[in-house]
Chains A and B, each alone.
Chain A
Amino acid sequence: MWYHVDPHSGIPIYIQLKEQIKKAVASNLLKEGEQLPSVRELAIKLTINPNTVARVYQELEREGIIETARGLGTFVARRREEYGAAQEDILERALESLMVEAYQLGVDQERLRIKFEKKLDVWRDRLKKEGDV
């Protein structure tokens, strides 16, 4: 997988890297059980601070997206069948902020529902396509 960060953006490097890995896992670009580079390797490769990479891995591990096996390395975690309280919480917050934004923009509930379903369809198609490869 090809990682990329823009250190000069106003978005902290750790957020850029974290979002990128999350997206890669969600879209199956990084597959279950696939090994991630070590903190050391990634820091050298991207020429960024190893503390930044370590923070990304810690947060992703806490969110259950990756797992670290001591002595073996870091791997993409098995996709969860059941979501734990932490996952529920993250999802809950994301939905909440979506609804607040929609309300502020004056989007009514019906339009929001249609938009949401359209997005789900696109997502489903994409996953299906990548599954075929």
Chain B
Amino acid sequence: MSWVIELDGVHKTFAEKTAVNQLSLKVSQGSIFGFIGPNGAGKTTLIKMMLGLLTPDQGRGSIFGMDIVKDSVKIRQRIGYVAETQSMYGYMSVAEIMGFCRSFYPQWNKDTVEKYLDIFQLPQKQKIKNLSKGMKTQLALIISLAHNPDLLILDEPTSGLDAVSRQEFLRIIIEELSVQGKTVFFSSHQLHDVEKIADMIGIINNGKLIETRKMDELKSTVKKIRVVFQREPDGSLFLQPGIVKAEKQGSAYLIDVEDNLTEVINQIKQYPHFTLDIIDQSLEKIFIEKVRGEGK
């Protein structure tokens, strides 16, 4: 497996507050890594460290095998980045900012730029300060793709977009990056967008990475089981590995499973029962349970 991003014990504190806490993660080439967490969890701080805009207090990281502190300039030549709020020169027109950005990148792709200006129907002569939030995001995406980056880093990119533009945005990520084996680091609290395209999920809360798993695996193994036993089972049944919680609600038991699902179900089935339902969990449900569980 070749890793595009490798972070090892990265740590950042502002004044008294720990923003990112000893965080380690790896992102493999060709993956779309969905990085999700509540507001203020440390997502943007981590991204800024990856981009060399902030220096970690402790730990180290590399992108394409290059050090995120020392080789930041070289790394940025191969990265596209779309920030949450677009701080572009408002007095420039769309055409002007394109010409401006172009001067920084020798590998600027004019065709890609024109294709997407056309698709998004962005008016070339319009001043940036007069564009809507959604249009600014689209413009930022076009600029981020123009130098054919091998890695695209997105920080809450879809928050100002309407449903149609969001769909278009996601499709471009698949078409221009994913199917070409390029890597995407997609930070968002819009779980619906992440759920659609990510193959890996990382959940951050209070600066800590509390889960990293393949999306398929997460959905295949994290389930709720609702079972009505014919007589009270032995309490040790709920102590098996993989069960994180078991509670009685009326005549039924609700059992939260995070791992080892097949084995857990087989064990439960050994006990005579009236009904047994396995309830699928959406990413949103999994996310809420995880973040709540951490808070306790």
Binding site for B on A (CB under 8 A): 7-15, 39-40, 43-44, 47-52, 55, 100, 104
Contact = CB atoms under 8 A, between A and B. Distances in A.
A123 to B, nearest CB: 26
Interface string B209-237: 00000011001100100000000000000
Given A9-B280, A44-B174, A104-B269, A51 B199 contact: yes
Contact of A8 (B174, B197, B220, B283): B283
B70 interface: no
Contacts of B196: 7, 47-48
10 contacts: A8-B282, A9-B280, A11-B280, A12-B215, A13-B215, A13-B216, A47-B167, A47-B197, A50-B174, A100-B269
A44 B192 contact: no
A13 B199 CA distance: 10
B117 interface: no
Interface in B180-222: 192, 195-199, 215-216, 219-220
A10 B273 contact: no
Contacts of A47: 167, 170-171, 174, 196-197
Given A44-B174, A104-B269, A11 B219 contact: yes
Interface in B138-164: none
A100 B174 CA distance: 42
Nearest to B34: A49
The bracket for how many chain B residues form the interface is 20 to 34
A48 B31 CA distance: 12
A59 to B, nearest CB: 11
B279 interface: yes
Contacts of A104: 269, 273, 276
B179 A50 contact: yes
A49 B199 CA distance: 7
B27 to A, nearest CB: 13
A49 B276 contact: no
A48 B30 CA distance: 13
A78 to B, nearest CB: 29
Contact of B174 (A9, A13, A49): A49
B285 interface: yes
B219 A44 contact: no
Contacts of A48: 174, 196-197
The 9 closest A-B pairs by CB, nearest first: A10-B280, A12-B216, A7-B196, A12-B219, A49-B199, A40-B179, A10-B281, A51-B199, A50-B179
A104 B273 CA distance: 7
A9 B282 contact: yes
A14 B170 CA distance: 18
A8 B30 contact: no
Given A14-B216, A100-B269, A43 B280 contact: no
Contacts of A12: 215-216, 219-220
Nearest to B31: A51
Given A10-B223, A13-B215, 12 more contacts: A7-B192, A7-B195, A8-B283, A9-B280, A10-B282, A11-B219, A11-B280, A47-B170, A49-B178, A49-B197, A51-B30, A51-B31
A50 B32 CA distance: 10
